[in-house]
Amino acid sequence: MAKKRSRRIIEMALAFLLLAPVISSPALAGSFDDGGLLRVINRWETLPKDYVPEEMVLPEVDTNKAGQKESIYMVPCAAAALEEMFSAAEEDGYILLAVSGYRSYSTQSLLFKNKVDSVGSRETAQKTVAPPGASEHQSGLAMDVVSTKFRYLNRDFLNTPEGKWVAQNCCYFGFIVRYKDGWTKVTGCNPEPWHIRYIGVEHAVAVTRLDIPYETYAAKARTLPEYVLCWGTSELFCGLVGDMLQGDESKAEELRLAEEMDEDFRWDTLNRITAQYASGE
Ligand SMILES: [Zn+2]
């Protein structure tokens, strides 16, 4: 079992005070914007045609086929998290393989066109291949993952020990399994247990615990102030989004009001509400 990497509030507060002026977190500003870590990407919220991540690297992980080495680019934070996740899986006895990372708008256009040609309609095609602009692969935050024991992009991956490991543990490295059974109406995609998307550990753990599609989570989370999105813990997000889905906006509203106040007040509010969720109030 991978070790949980939750930051403690006090460490976060210290890190914020010491590093805030120099830290460069993609989640810090405009989390839900095009280049933001929390950006929702689907057929209804597409990336612009010319969107290419500012920086990408090749994660040092094994690929399913030698020819895939050049097709697994990711943004640096996601690549580092993927490397950690693959190492942790290996420690547990599972050898994961990367299949496909960054994909350009034009490559996605071609894949989609081919799918439409083979199935005969756009509607059917887009359940299995995202239309151009609607693929998370264009963000450099997504990866398709298989294993040495099961090398196919097939939903049976979920029933393999490796697939189960990914489903249970990827959140501790900041990834979520994006398309699960029963979520097609909300995500627009058929289940894909091999497709993981990076959103950062705290949000990923919250989404996984709530066991809801990312669209459902993001619809509520995007109403929270940026300082909360950036510095909140999984416990806080789980509690807040869970409450908001039940129609209770009270704590979210306190955090929104605190955004207008000075920094001390903001931190006090964030810490107090986090502690309330931690103690189950
Ligand atoms: Zn994928």
* 60-68 contact pairs (CB < 8 A, 24+): 61/86, 61/96, 61/97, 61/98, 62/86, 62/95, 62/96, 62/97, 62/98, 63/97, 63/98, 63/99, 64/97, 64/98, 64/99, 64/146, 64/151, 68/98, 68/99, 68/100
SS3 at position 99: strand
Q: Is residue 269 part of a domain?
A: yes
Q: Same domain, yes or no, for 134 and 229?
A: no
User: Can you give the C-alpha Rg of the chain in angstroms?
Assistant: 19
For residue 66, the model assigns a pLDDT of: 87
Q: Is pLDDT at 21 greater than 60 in this prediction?
A: no
Of 24-28, 87-91, 150-154, 247-251, the poorest mean pLDDT is in 24-28
If asked whether residues 86 and 190 sit together in one domain, one would say yes
- Per residue in 107-146, pLDDT (tens digit) is 999 999 999 999 999 999 998 899 999 999 999 999 999 9
pLDDT in tens, 157-202: 999 999 999 999 999 999 999 999 999 999 999 999 999 999 999 9
CB 38 within 8 A of CB 198: no
Residue 57 CA to ligand 1 centre (angstroms): 18
Question: How far apart are the C-alpha atoms of 97 and 71, rounded to whole Å?
Answer: 13
Let me know whether 26 and 48 are in one domain.
Answer: no
Residue 143 CA, ligand 1 centroid: distance in Å: 6
Domain end marker among 165, 199, 233: 199
* 83 plus 142 within the same structural domain: yes
pLDDT tens digits, one per residue of 24-83 = 344 445 799 988 999 999 999 999 999 999 999 999 999 999 888 899 999 999 999 999
Count of domains forming the chain = 2
Q: How confident is the model at residue 7 (pLDDT cuts 50, 70, 90)?
A: very low
Residues 192-220: tens digit of each pLDDT: 999 999 999 999 999 999 999 999 999 99
205 domain residue, yes or no:
no
In angstroms, what is the span from residue 62 Cα to ligand 1's centroid? 17
Residues 62 and 135 in one domain: yes
Closest CA to 164 of 92, 72, 68: 92
What sections of the chain are H helices per DSSP? 9-19, 76-91, 105-119, 122-128, 161-169, 184-187, 201-210, 214-221, 226-231, 234-245, 250-258, 263-278
- Residue 202: phi and psi, rounded to 5, are -60, -45
Distance from the alpha carbon of residue 37 to the mean position of ligand 1, in angstroms? 17
Q: Could you tell me if 13 and 129 lie in one domain?
A: no
Compute, in angstroms, the gap from residue 247 CA to the centroid of ligand 1.
Answer: 33
Query: Do 148 and 223 have their domain in common?
Result: no
Are 23 and 125 in a shared domain? Answer: no
Q: Are residues 74 and 177 in the same domain?
A: yes
Query: Do 53 and 129 lie in a common domain?
Result: yes
Q: Can you give the pLDDT at residue 29?
A: 53
User: Out of 11, 70, 84, 192, which one is annotated catalytic?
Assistant: 192
- What's the confidence (pLDDT) of residue 281? 67
Do 23 and 86 lie in one domain? The reply is no
Q: Distance from the CA of 195 to the center of ligand 1, in angstroms? A: 4
159 occurs within a structural domain: yes
Residue 69 maps to a domain = yes
| 30: helix, strand or coil | coil
**The domain that contains 132 carries what CATH number?**
3.30.1380.10
**Number of neighbouring beta carbons within 10 Å of residue 264:** 8
Instruction: Note whether 124 and 176 are same-domain residues.
Output: yes
**Which residues are found with C-beta within 5 Å of the ion, ligand 1?**
144, 195
User: What domain range is 56 assigned to?
Assistant: 37-199
In the annotation, is 136 catalytic? no
* 199, 234, 254 - which closes a domain: 199
The closest of 126, 101, 108 to 197, measured between CA atoms, is: 101
| Banded model confidence at residue 5, pLDDT cuts 50, 70, 90 | very low
Strand-pairing partners, residue 146, are 97
